[in-house]
Structure 1
């Protein structure tokens, strides 16, 4: 059963001649208890998509399409209903915990706040629950008295996860949850998220630029480029054998243990993703694509079948093409 359905979602900043399309016709599904990863370089629309799920975008953003959470369209919810859904129905773990936590309030107060806002117990009960949540994410309950600056980066990220779990949501959106953490702490945080999602039967939508992380953490993987999903399928299959040349380039950018060739000569892509305000014609990826045809500059590509339970938006899908 689908917990989250995103249908033809468009997000545009500004209007008229200055309009900037950040998300262009995205359609994705997250089943109850499943884990979906979204990958792509900076500027591909991943974080805009995450913020759109709970209408956390600035007033300059214009949205169309549908975001169905348990069958209810988030985009048409009245303010009172939306307020009830945030934290309790779905919650977000933002990147950069130091910027997301309030520097002048203790950790325990900040974890307890969503519980009190949603009427889940007395202040005393909320404080006790905050201590339980800290222990659940591997921190002593006594750390509830600490201020954010007194914690390490990994500890602050654990606090953000505790806050996200406070009201027992059915969906957690993790937007680059391990950004700026060293590899050991990153591994600990990812294991923690996996364990909590599995033990509490929570659905997860995780955003990262790192395909390897998503392949190890998620069931399915969607690759975004220039505001669109260009490939989607089982996470390990997309990582090991992407059907879209952009997915192959992202995967090849990370050296693989035991693979001497990738370790000595990791590959990447020249250039940068296009400016959303000046997208190229045809397939947006064609200026950087190593296998582009002349027609790619004119003809945009829609997602089409690329194998069992897989889709990709490339003219070469179905043909044996080596990058």
Structure 2
């Protein structure tokens, strides 16, 4: 019998809401998520569905007006209960985050090498300068950049190169878990493919766990082992990435999948699918299923109560019509 890989991240019944001047804003509603060692797990959904809020909660990076309920465990530690010093030690060394928009995340007045070296010096203060420099060179080589790039400033690098620097920084202290929040946003398709291949290779080579956030379901299908699809703060479908993309059971997942044309598929080329309307206001969710007002398959029963996650075709799906034509 195969021993299951250790759990690096565990979210149980996670709820996150923001206190605003217009009232309480629920961003994440009852999400369960697990990432094992050597596994890539993706979270997909439109803007506003709660993906980035979920990512920030992993290392307690949410703003002060956020109220968090549920369990958040990273490497077996209860993140919500950790003291500041322990949490600071866990960040970078135990788990790290690759933020979207590398140009805005990197310091424009510091050279790349200094920025990659900063977390190493912080978490391994006993290392000599030469040892830190060698580690920086190793990290840049690991992400496909030459050592000479360490002397460059962020504005002297391309978008793809800056994103590689962000990944190098995330790996600087050899974390066991990496969270990538929209790591390929604003990159062209060729560079996007290179970054995704790099992430996949690093997961396999280093044995880390990766949680990747994206609005692009096709991206996640290519790189992930499992995918969770979120809508209005809830998971509405999850399962093996290839199955979720190729055979979606929830109408929202089908809309996300259909939004990206498949190469060699004339039907997708000449009649790309779309989804009318916008996600609901979290402060004023519709009765019943939050997706019902936009769903082409909705019936009266869909407005009577929010559907629970039930097993349909071996996958958890929150839809009363799942599996029906």
Indicate the TM-score class for this superposition, using the shorter chain for normalisation.
Answer: over 0.9
Tell me, in whole angstroms, the C-alpha distance in 1 between the residues paired with 2:310 and 2:10: 19
Q: 1:218 aligns with which of 177, 201, 224?
A: 224
Gaps of 5+ in 2: 1-5
Alignment-derived partner of residue 97 in structure 1: 102
Please report the TM-score for the alignment, with normalisation by the length of structure 2. Answer: 0.96
User: What is the root-mean-square deviation in Å for CA atoms of aligned residues?
Assistant: 1.2
Q: 1:159 aligns with which of 153, 156, 165?
A: 165
Query: Does the residue aligned with 1:86 lie in a helix, a strand or coil?
Result: helix
Displacement of 1:298 after TM fit? 2.2
Is residue 320 from structure 1 mapped to residue 311 from structure 2 by the alignment? no
Tell me, in whole angstroms, the C-alpha distance in 2 between the residues paired with 1:119 and 1:176: 29
Tell me, in whole angstroms, the C-alpha distance in 2 between the residues paired with 1:171 and 1:278: 35
Alignment-derived partner of residue 245 in structure 1: 251
**Runs of 4 or more off by more than 6 Å in structure 1?**
none
Alignment-derived partner of residue 3 in structure 2: none
Please report the TM-score for the alignment, with normalisation by the length of structure 1. Answer: 0.96
**Equivalent residue pairs, number:** 319
Is residue 267 from structure 1 mapped to residue 277 from structure 2 by the alignment? no
Is residue 27 from structure 1 mapped to residue 38 from structure 2 by the alignment? no
Displacement of 1:30 after TM fit? 0.9
Query: Does the residue aligned with 1:224 lie in a helix, a strand or coil?
Result: strand
Alignment-derived partner of residue 54 in structure 1: 59
Displacement of 1:156 after TM fit? 0.3
Is residue 3 from structure 1 mapped to residue 1 from structure 2 by the alignment? no
Cα deviation, 1:8-63, whole Å, max 9, x if unaligned, reads 11111106961100111111111111110110011100011001100111111111
Query: Does the residue aligned with 1:284 lie in a helix, a strand or coil?
Result: coil
Displacement of 1:124 after TM fit? 3.2
Alignment-derived partner of residue 113 in structure 1: 118
Q: 1:36 aligns with which of 21, 38, 41?
A: 41
Query: Does the residue aligned with 1:272 lie in a helix, a strand or coil?
Result: coil
Tell me, in whole angstroms, the C-alpha distance in 1 between the residues paired with 2:53 and 2:120: 26
Tell me, in whole angstroms, the C-alpha distance in 1 between the residues paired with 2:21 and 2:272: 42
Displacement of 1:128 after TM fit? 2.0
Alignment-derived partner of residue 206 in structure 2: 200
Change (3 A) 1:25 1:243: same
Tell me, in whole angstroms, the C-alpha distance in 2 between the residues paired with 1:263 and 1:131: 44
Displacement of 1:68 after TM fit? 1.1
Alignment-derived partner of residue 296 in structure 1: 302
Query: Does the residue aligned with 1:277 lie in a helix, a strand or coil?
Result: coil
Is residue 283 from structure 1 mapped to residue 289 from structure 2 by the alignment? yes
Query: Does the residue aligned with 2:12 lie in a helix, a strand or coil?
Result: strand
Gaps of 5+ in 1: none
Change (3 A) 1:21 1:168: same
